[in-house]
Amino acid sequence: MVTIAVTSEPADEPRVAVSPDTVKKFTALGALVRIEQGAGLRSRFSDDAYRAAGAEVVGKAEALAGADILLRVRRPSAEDIRALKPGAIVAGMIDPYGGGGELTALAETGATVFSMEFMPRTTRAQSMDVLSSQANLAGYKAVVDGAAIFGQALPMMMTPAGTVPAAKAFIMGVGVAGLQAIATARRLGAQVTATDVRPATKEQVQSLGAKFIAVEDDEFKQAQTAAGYAKPMSAEYQAKQAELVANHIKTQDLVITTALIPGRPAPKLISRAMIESMKPGSVIVDLAAERGGNTELTEAGRTIETPNGVKIFGPLNLAGTIAVNASSLYARNLLAFLETMIDKKEKTLAVNWDDELVKGTLVAKGGQIVHPNLATKTA
């Protein structure tokens, strides 16, 4: 029998790695799930709901003792991992590029560590893609929170007393979060424009009823990696794009920035001068705040107001603010991944080390950091 441990997350992380629904499915696979008492309360999953689904609700030490697998949202401590079986599997959002010494300490425990952020962008892996499931929710919440900060109506309203014009929303970065932000802003009635350096996004933006804004030169046509991420752009292109954005942003009421490049600080898309040109009362929601922000003035975890009356919101863990949904989706991502490692007939662990999903997400094994993206950082 495979024993799966789930423990409580830090105070600033309301999500949890399993839901009662995924506990049922793990149990059907022959696994025993031990969850720390109270671990799901901030996601509105009660201990009784977990028990009813087939889990054992126990203290932290008992949950960890001898477990084959530890499922987490955030990176666990090396101390917790040492309570597992030697070489046990740890899966979660390990924050591989921000780990530093903690990631090395994690590897030195001998655990087999999988970072869900490295999940390959393939059709087969779509149900396991934690970045997409969480970004989808963050894109939605960015618009909702931005609208609340804006404090004015988003849709056009025609009344006997006159017409309320539609608010203008500008989405910068059209990945999963950006697309959901476009869709949400459109549903709320805003007039939406969007920009991205990847040419494939133009059709996606237009399909949602928004207008695409970008410098469409030869470099733009080659600005996407095989994995679907944006490539770093030349200084010349950045200057042309910045000029276009600077002219456009002056008229916008709500701006959502989502631009991130894996392993790099967030690109600066909005300068201080651009912010100073914006209308009083306009709002920027910077989803890249945790990586330094897409604006020059973003402060992670804070909402600031500039002298000209622009509010800049730099949220941390925005998906976690709707933890019920975020935990449910994240738990399904983990379940889909772990199902590939459990022999359904023998009800034992059976990891295929040649599987592209395993090779793509494996960060540490046998006491060493093994992922090629991290090898130079820890050599």
Q: Are residues 172 and 309 in the same domain?
A: yes
CA 192, CA 185: separation in Å to the nearest integer?
7
CA 330, CA 244: separation in Å to the nearest integer?
37
- The partner residues of 113 in beta bridges, in order of sequence, read 90, 364
140 occurs within a structural domain: no
Q: What is the pLDDT of residues 357-371, one digit of tens each?
A: 999 999 999 999 999
119 occurs within a structural domain: yes
- How high is the mean pLDDT of the chain? 93
CB of 188 closer than 8 Å to CB of 210: no
Which pLDDT band, with edges at 50, 70 and 90, does 376 fall under? Answer: low
Q: Are residues 185 and 305 in the same domain?
A: yes
Q: How many domains does the chain have?
A: 2
pLDDT at 242 over 90: no
Q: What percent of the chain has pLDDT over 70?
A: 96
**Residue 300: predicted pLDDT:** 96
**Residue 230: predicted pLDDT:** 64
Q: Are residues 280 and 347 in the same domain?
A: no
Phi, psi values for residue 254, rounded to 5° = -135, 125
Domain enclosing residue 203, as ranges: 153-317
CA torsion through residues 7, 338, 261, 310, sign: negative
Q: Are residues 189 and 292 in the same domain?
A: yes
Closest to 188 (Cα-Cα) out of 239, 225, 246, 147? 147
Max CA pair span of the chain = 73
Q: Mark which of 302, 317, 332 sits at the end of a domain.
A: 317
pLDDT at 56 over 70: yes
Q: Are residues 172 and 258 in the same domain?
A: yes
Which pLDDT band, with edges at 50, 70 and 90, does 225 fall under? Answer: low
CA 219, CA 308: separation in Å to the nearest integer?
35
Alpha-carbon torsion angle 180, 167, 260, 312, nearest 10? -130
Q: Are residues 113 and 163 in the same domain?
A: no
pLDDT at 203 over 80: yes
**Residue 241: predicted pLDDT:** 84
**Residue 325: predicted pLDDT:** 98
Structure tokens at 170: 């500008």
CA 80, CA 162: separation in Å to the nearest integer?
63
379 occurs within a structural domain: no
147 occurs within a structural domain: no
pLDDT at 26 over 90: yes
CA 320, CA 132: separation in Å to the nearest integer?
14
Q: Count CB atoms within 10 A of the CB of residue 253.
A: 22
Alpha-carbon torsion angle 221, 182, 204, 287, nearest 10? 50
142 occurs within a structural domain: no
Closest to 111 (Cα-Cα) out of 263, 1, 5, 12? 5
281 occurs within a structural domain: yes
pLDDT at 126 over 70: yes
CATH code: domain of residue 159? 3.40.50.720
Q: Are residues 162 and 211 in the same domain?
A: yes
Q: Cα separations (Å) of 231 from 126, 179, 267? A: 22, 19, 11
**Residue 98: predicted pLDDT:** 83
Q: Is 314 helix (H, G, I), strand (E, B) or coil?
A: coil
Kindly report the pTM of this predicted structure: 0.91
- What is the crossing angle of helices 323-339 and 20-28, to 10°? 10
More confident site: 347 or 50: 50
264 occurs within a structural domain: yes
pLDDT at 161 over 50: yes
Q: Which residues are catalytic?
A: 121, 126, 129, 132, 229
**Residue 379: predicted pLDDT:** 41
Q: Are residues 21 and 100 in the same domain?
A: yes
Q: Are residues 80 and 175 in the same domain?
A: no
Beta strands 168-172 and 191-195 are parallel
Beta strands 211-212 and 283-286 are unpaired
CA 268, CA 174: separation in Å to the nearest integer?
16
Structure tokens at 15: 């999500």
Q: Cα separations (Å) of 46 from 20, 64, 320? A: 9, 20, 17
Which pLDDT band, with edges at 50, 70 and 90, does 226 fall under? Answer: low
CB of 366 closer than 8 Å to CB of 104: no
Q: Are residues 157 and 91 in the same domain?
A: no
Q: Are residues 313 and 209 in the same domain?
A: yes
Q: Are residues 306 and 328 in the same domain?
A: no
Residues for the chain: how many in total?
379
Beta strands 283-286 and 254-257 are parallel
Helix, strand, coil percentages, rounded to 5, for the chain = 40, 20, 45
CA 272, CA 234: separation in Å to the nearest integer?
21
Closest to 216 (Cα-Cα) out of 240, 186, 191? 240
Amino acid found at 315 = P
297 occurs within a structural domain: yes
**Residue 262: predicted pLDDT:** 80
